[in-house]
Chains A and B, each alone.
Chain A
C-alpha cells in the first residue's frame, strides 16, 4: 500500500503533531507573559527574543534530569500513565478542524463531540492514576482531589457542550464550527461564560487549583515524578489547556472559519484559529490571576450547587433561543 505523503505531512507536521507541540509551547509562553504583566513583573525575557523559547528550555532541562521511580510505586502504571495521557490529548486534536479541514481528512463523523469529551475525561482519569500509583501521602491526596473535581465538572461540561450542538443541529465538531455565521458566543453568551468557568475547573487553574496545591500537598499528583516523566506530565497538562481552549473556540467562537481576504484559505483559517485561541487563553489567565484557591469542599459546593443547575438552566434557555431562531 503506498504511503500517502500528504497524509503523513498532515499528521506529523502540520496541522498535526509538530504544530501542536510548538503551538502548545507558544501558548505556554503567552500564558506566562500575560500572567507576569498582570502581576506587574516581567515574565520570561532571556531565552530567545522576549523569552519565547523559555518553555522549550524548561522542557529540555527536565529531560536531562535524573529519572527516579520510588520503589513502592506501582511500576507499570507509574511509568506509562503520563505518556498515555499525553497521547490521548494529542489524539483528540485529530477531530478538530484547524486549517479548515480536520487533521486526518474524513475523520469527522456525527458524534465526534461526544468522543472528544470522553477522551478528555479518560485522560484526566489517567492523571488521577498517575498520582495514585505513586503511593505517597501527598500524591494520594492530590489524586483523590483530581477525581473529586473530575466528577464535579464533567457533567456540566457535557451539558454545556450540548448547547451549541443543539443550535447547530449536529454533533459533528466541524459542522458546529462551520454553521456559525455569528459566533455562538454572541448568541448565547451565558453558556460561553459558564463554559469558560468550567474550563478553569478542568484545567486545574485558580480558583480550582486544588489538585496540585503547592502550599498544602507539595505538588499533588506530580510529587514523585522527576526527569523525563515529569516533562511528559507537564506537557500533557499544557496540551490539555490548548485542547480545552480549542474545543471552546470550535464550539463557541466559530472555529477557524472567518473572513478570507487574500490568498490561501488554509493560511487564513489557521490564523483565525490561533487568534481566537489566544483570546480564550488570555481570558482564562485573567480568571487565574484574580482568584485565590478554593478548598475542595468549597469546589464541590460551586460545582454541584452552582455550575450544574446553571448549566441545565442555560441549556433550557438555549433550546428556547434555538427554537426562536429557527422555528421547527
Chain B
C-alpha cells in the first residue's frame, strides 16, 4: 500500500532538480511545484505508485504575469497537488489525457476560462462558454471584467458540422437536445444512431453556466456562502459545508462539537432527499410512474423535517463560517425520530421492490455497464464509482464534521450496471437514517457557533465533502482582504459526465435514459 510519504519520496527521487519548491497547504496535503514540462512525469509517477489514484481537479489561478495550473490528485486518503506555471502571453502546456482520460473535461474548462492551450488534447473544443463568446476574452483572468462583453453576435442555430444523416451510411443523428423530457436541466447530447444501436455520443455542456467562480471573487466570504449554496438546489448544504470548511481551514478556526453534529445531520438529510429524488426520477425515466409517485410522497417526510430544522424546504442556509446558524431544540428531537422510523419502514418496501420487480430489473440489469478499470481511469466519483466496486468515500477517507465519531458502512456493489448504481443509493438512504439517529442520540451540548472575523488571513486550502453525487472539491485562496482571491469548485457530476460517453456506446437508444439517470446528473452543478 502506498502512502503519501512514499509517493513524495518517489517524486523527489525521480524528478530531482525539476522540482522548484514544496510546501504544505494544510496538514497532510502537500503542494509540489515543478517545471512546466515535468508535470506530466510527476502525475504519471503518482498514478503508478497508487493504482486507485485519480486526478480530482485541475485548477487555474491567475497570478498576474503567469497562470498557475494545479493538478490535484486524490490518493491515499489525501490530496497531493502538482503545480506548474505557464506565462500568460504563451500559455501552452502538455495535456495529460493520454495517461488519465478523465482529465478531458477539466482541461477543456481551464482552456475556456483561462486561455491555456493543452497540446495533445483529443477534442479541444469549447466546453463551458457558448459558441458565440468572443475569441480572446478569458473570463477568469483578473484583468477581464465581464460587464462589457457584447451580447449575442447574431442568431446561431445548429452548428455547421452537425447534419441529420451523417456521411457514414445509415447513421442518424438524434439530438437528446437541450430541451427533452428525459433531462431535467438543459444539456445537449448528440447520439449517432444506427437503427436502435447507439454508435457514438458527443456531449456539449455549458447551457447552465452562470459564472459563479468569477462572481465569488467580487463578494465577501459571508455573501459567498449563499452564492455557492445556489450552485445546486439539491445538494446545497454540501456546497455550503465544503466552502465553510475550507475557509475555516485557512483561518485555523475549529468548530464546536455541537455544530459538527448538527452539520452532519443536515448533510445526511440532504443525502436522503437527493437519493430519493433520484430513485423516483429513475422510475419516471424507465416508464415506472407508480414508483415515482410513491417515492416522492415518502420524500415529503424529509422535506418536513428540513423545514422544521432550517426554516425552508430545499435551500437550507443552515451552515455558516464558524458553525451553524440555528440550534435544534430538544422538544423537536422525538418528532424527527418518529418520522425517520416511518421512513425506515417504507425503505424495506422499496428494497423488496428493487430486488424482485421483474420489469424494473429487465430495464436496469446489464444496462450501462462500467467496469472497475474504466471507472478508475475516467476518475468517476460517488455512487457511480461505488456501483462499480471502487471503494471510495470521503466521509471515511478524510472525515469532516462528525464522521470520525459516528460508525457507518460504505456501500459498494460489484456489477457496475445501472441497477447496481441505483441499489447503492437505496442502501445509502438506510445508512443515512442510521447516522442521523445516532447523531441525535449523541448530540453534545454547548455552543453551536463561534464568532469569526470578517477578513481572512492570507492562505489557501482544499476542502472535500461527500455530496450525494460524489466527492465535492473546493479550493479557496485568500489574499488577506474580505474578498476571496480564487474559489475553485469541482462538482461530482463534472467528473462523472464523461463516463456517459462510455456507457451509452453500444447500447440501445432505449437504454440511454436508464443509464443516464443512474449517473444522477445535476447540470447546475456541472456548469456552475
Contacts and interface: CB of A to CB of B under 8 A. Distances in A.
Q: Do chains A and B touch in the complex (CB under 8 A)?
A: yes
Interface of A: 38-41, 137-138, 140-141, 206-207, 209-210, 213-218, 289-298
B360 interface: yes
Contacts of A216: 182, 509-510, 512-513
Given A137-B164, A137-B174, A215-B182, A39 B289 contact: yes
A218 B181 CA distance: 6
A293 B363 CA distance: 8
**From B182, B287, B508, residue with most partner A Cβ within 10 Å:** B287
B494 to A, nearest CB: 24
Contact of B510 (A38, A138, A289, A295): A295
B229 interface: no
A292 B294 contact: no
A206 B358 CA distance: 13
B288 interface: yes
A239 to B, nearest CB: 23
B510 A292 contact: no
B283 A40 contact: no
Given A138-B174, A291-B359, A292-B359, A215 B288 contact: no
Given A39-B294, A41-B293, A216-B510, A293 B180 contact: no
Contacts of A217: 509
A217 B362 CA distance: 20
B342 to A, nearest CB: 15
**From A39, A209, A214, A293, residue with most partner B Cβ within 10 Å:** A293
A292 B181 contact: no
B290 interface: yes
Given A292-B286, A292-B288, 6 more contacts: A141-B174, A215-B284, A215-B285, A292-B362, A295-B508, A296-B196
A238 B285 CA distance: 24
28 contacts: A39-B289, A40-B293, A40-B297, A137-B164, A137-B174, A141-B174, A141-B196, A206-B287, A206-B288, A207-B359, A213-B287, A213-B510, A214-B181, A216-B513, A289-B290, A290-B290, A292-B286, A292-B287, A292-B288, A293-B286, A293-B287, A294-B362, A294-B363, A295-B508, A295-B511, A296-B508, A296-B510, A297-B508
B181 A215 contact: yes
Nearest to A298: B362
Interface of B: 164, 172-174, 180-182, 196, 283-291, 293-294, 297, 357, 359-360, 362-363, 508-513
Q: 5 tightest A-B contacts by CB?
A: A293-B287, A292-B288, A39-B293, A292-B359, A215-B182
Contacts of A294: 359, 362-363
A298 B509 CA distance: 13
A263 B286 CA distance: 51
B511 A137 contact: no
Nearest to B516: A215
Nearest to B517: A215
Contacts of B172: 137, 140
Nearest to B364: A292
Contacts of B510: 210, 213, 216, 295-296
Contacts of B287: 206-207, 209, 213, 215, 292-293
A36 B367 CA distance: 30
**From A138, A292, A295, residue with most partner B Cβ within 10 Å:** A292
A210 B164 CA distance: 23
A214 B357 CA distance: 22
Contacts of A295: 362-363, 508, 510-511
A207 B360 CA distance: 10
A290 B359 CA distance: 9
Contacts of B363: 292-295
A293 B297 contact: no
Contacts of B509: 141, 216-217
Contacts of B174: 137-138, 141
Contacts of A291: 288, 359
A218 B509 CA distance: 12
A292 B182 contact: no
